[in-house]
Every structure is written in C-alpha cells, then in structure tokens.
Amino acid sequence: MASGSRVELLDFDRAELAAELEERFNLPAFRARQLIRWVHKRRVRDFSEMTDIAKPLREAFGDAYSVYRPELAERQISRDGTRKYLFRLEDGSEIESVLIKQPDRLTLCVSSQVGCAMGCKFCRTALMKLKRNLATHEIIGQVLAVQDDAAELGLDFHNIVFMGMGEPLHNFDNVLRALRLLNDELGHDFSYRKVTVSTSGLVPAIERFGQVGAPASLAVSLNATSDDVRTALIPINKKWPIETLMRTLHELPLSSTQRITIEYVMLAGVNDTDADLQRLPGILHGLPCKINLIPYNENAGLGFKRPSTQHIARWQDRLLSRGFNTTVRWSKGEDIDAACGQLATQSSRQKRVGDRSAALS
C-alpha cells in the first residue's frame, strides 16, 4: 500500500476513502468525493493541481498519499491497431494490458494477478504459476495509464474485460474494490454492463460475486462439455464440476436483461466434437447466457491446435439455430502475442526458452 511512507490513494474505494479521511484528518465525506473525481475522472496525480482544495490541505494530502501509475516498460502496436502494454511494478514484476481494437469500439483487457495459480493446460499464463495478487492500485493503475496514453491520441475506451493475466476471482477483494472504483459515477463511471470479469469457475467466489452485487458482468470459461475433458484442461473442475458450476450460475441474482457470457475456447479434437456440440445446449438450457466461441491461439509447446474456420462457423450456426446468441471472438494482436491466453511477460518467456535450451543441452 505504501510508496515510501506515503499510502496509495488508488487503494481506496469511495466509502473507504471517506472513512480514512475522517479518521486521519477528521474531514467530511465530500473530501473523498473531491479526491475520487480528481484522481480517477480527471487523472490528476499532483495535489497542487487540485484547485478546489485549499493549499494547506493539498499539502497534507501530498505528504500522506501518492497517486500510482505503473512504469510503462514497453508498448507494442499490432498491425490491426491493438496496443499491448508491458508494465513494470515497484517490485520488478511485469504485467500486461491490451487495448483491443474492434471495428466499433476499443476494449481494455487488464491483468488481475502476476501469473496464475489455476494451471489450465492450454494457457500460457499458467506456465508462470502465481507470483502474487495485484493490489487495487495496480489494477486501476493499468486503466489510468492506458487512458493517459490513449488520450494523447484522442482515443477513449468504454469497455473493460478482466481477461488478462490471472484469475480475477482468486484476487477477490482487490478486484471487487477496483470494480467499485470503475463503477463510481464520480470516478471512472463505467456501467456494470461495460465491465466483464472472466473466471475459470471458482464456485465459492462466483457465489460471493453475486452476494455482494459486484458491479460487473460475469464471463465463465466453460471450455468443455464433459467433466473428464474439463478436469483435464482446467484442474479446478475436479473440485467444482460442471453441474455444480451450472447450478451456481443458475442461482446468481441477475436482472432480467443481464446475461452471463459462456466462453468456450475451441481446441481441435479435444472439445469440439459432434458429441460436444450436442451436449452444450443441454448444459446451458434455461441459463440467461450468450456464448462466446474463442478460436484457440496456439502456444508453442502446449500441444493444442485451433480448429478450422469452417468448423468454428459450423458450431456457431448450429448454436444460433438452437436459439443461443453466439459470437466468435477472433483474437486481435496475435502478431504481438497480445491474444487471449498468450500473455506471459517477456522475462518469463526468456526464462522458459532458457529452461528449454538447458534441458536440450
């Protein structure tokens, strides 16, 4: 939380900041509203620019708090306009965020952890294992840093997905705080419909997500139609199998217009058989959902293949004809390794190459 002896202001949501300011400075709640507006909406980092706050108080805030930005270590721009940001954190860890260019909009994909503990067999981030959770200021810092960069180009984005490195629901408290800040109308003011948290299926955390009314939409990586295959791909399925996961999703409090996104990474010959296609509608029956088919982005050494485009199109047609709103997520930024499941930092990649050559020699 601290930077030197100063505390990271971006670690507080509005309610927490009001409590902090009252306790530390005996200040009324409107001061928290002012600060939230300055640092999140206007992206101001220097307290001396906060002109509606008297100078002595600005100085006291400046002594007490710092306003975080991650260090931009590298920015790559893909042929399709997608921008990948490599950020270096204060402990030297590296994380990636991707600003995805779609025909009609920009979507920011953020990381929630350094690495990931879930160990999915098809995912490159899994190879890093979990190094640590990101603090709230490191999650929100990605959003602000990319907004700073995009603003220079006159660009803005209105959608955020928690689909970068990490399992967001495994870092529940910090992600929830970040979601509240993103949703705060005085701060980032993203509607819950525009922020999507993707989970590999951590059932207790999904229940909690519903109970606390997290201001975001949920996406679930189903990725298989039988427990045998799903457990082989996503080890936590052993603990929370498909039926348990589906029951939990059915019980989530959703408004009548809210849909859960069911993600299905298509792996040739593994989870894309005719039997899978037949089972999927039954599994999703009655769930307010939309299906997102994700053509696999091949990672050298992991051994999975992407099915043909025709095959993916056939799945989409069939699911549409069964009444499921089904889209195909053609990944962006593949030429810069920014596509889904290809995120792992440069240093961990170099390390693996090193590991491999050591093993060969």
Q: Which of residues 144-173 bind ligand SF4 (CB under 6 A)?
A: 166-167
Verify binding: residue 138, ligand SF4, rule CB under 6 A. no
Q: Which does 196 bind (CB under 5 to 8 A by kind): ligand SF4, ligand SAH, none?
A: none
Q: Which does 307 bind (CB under 5 to 8 A by kind): ligand SF4, ligand SAH, none?
A: none
- Residue in 20, 94, 96, 263 annotated catalytic: 96
Verify binding: residue 337, ligand SAH, rule CB under 6 A. no
243 as an active site residue: the answer is: no
Choose one: 78-86, 130-138, 236-244, 339-347; the region binding ligand SAH (CB under 6 A).
Answer: 339-347
Verify binding: residue 307, ligand SAH, rule CB under 6 A. no
Verify binding: residue 122, ligand SAH, rule CB under 6 A. yes
How many helices (H) and strands (E) in the chain? 11, 15
334 as an active site residue: the answer is: no
Q: Which of residues 224-263 bind ligand SAH (CB under 6 A)?
A: 263
Q: How far apart are CA 237 and CA 37, in angstroms?
A: 42
Q: How far apart are CA 131 and CA 110, in angstroms?
A: 17
**Rg (Cα) of the chain, in Å, rounded?**
21
Cβ atoms < 10 Å from Cβ of 145: 19
Verify binding: residue 271, ligand SF4, rule CB under 6 A. no
Verify binding: residue 125, ligand SF4, rule CB under 6 A. yes
Judged by CB under 6 A, which of 32, 67, 110, 118 binds ligand SF4? 118
Runs of H (alpha helix) within 217-273: 227-233, 242-251
Beta bridge partners of 2: 7
Sign of CA dihedral 239, 95, 43, 101: negative
Question: Residue 222: helix, strand or coil by DSSP?
Answer: coil
Q: How far apart are CA 67 and CA 59, in angstroms?
A: 14
- Residue in 109, 116, 289, 340 annotated catalytic: 340
Verify binding: residue 123, ligand SF4, rule CB under 6 A. yes
What does the block give as tokens for 270? 């593994």
Closer CB to ligand SF4, 66 or 221, in the complex: 221
Q: How far apart are CA 232 and CA 180, in angstroms?
A: 35
Closer CB to ligand SF4, 67 or 120, in the complex: 120
Choose one: 43-51, 85-93, 117-125, 147-155; the region binding ligand SF4 (CB under 6 A).
Answer: 117-125
Runs of H (alpha helix) within 234-345: 242-251, 274-284, 309-321
Query: Residue count at the site for ligand SF4 (CB under 6 A)?
Result: 10
Residue 202 has what DSSP assignment?
A: -
Q: Which of residues 186-215 bind ligand SF4 (CB under 6 A)?
A: 200
Cα 220 to its chain centre, rounded Å, is 12
Residue 163: phi and psi, rounded to 5, are -130, 15
Q: Do residues 214 and 223 lie in contact, with contact meaning Cβ atoms separated by under 8 Å?
A: no
Residue 171: phi and psi, rounded to 5, are -125, 55
Closer CB to ligand SF4, 86 or 116, in the complex: 116
| Catalytic positions | 96, 340
- What are the residues binding ligand SF4 (CB under 6 A)? 116, 118-120, 123, 125-126, 166-167, 200
- What are the residues binding ligand SAH (CB under 6 A)? 122-123, 163, 167, 198-200, 221, 223, 263, 265, 294, 296-297, 299, 340-342
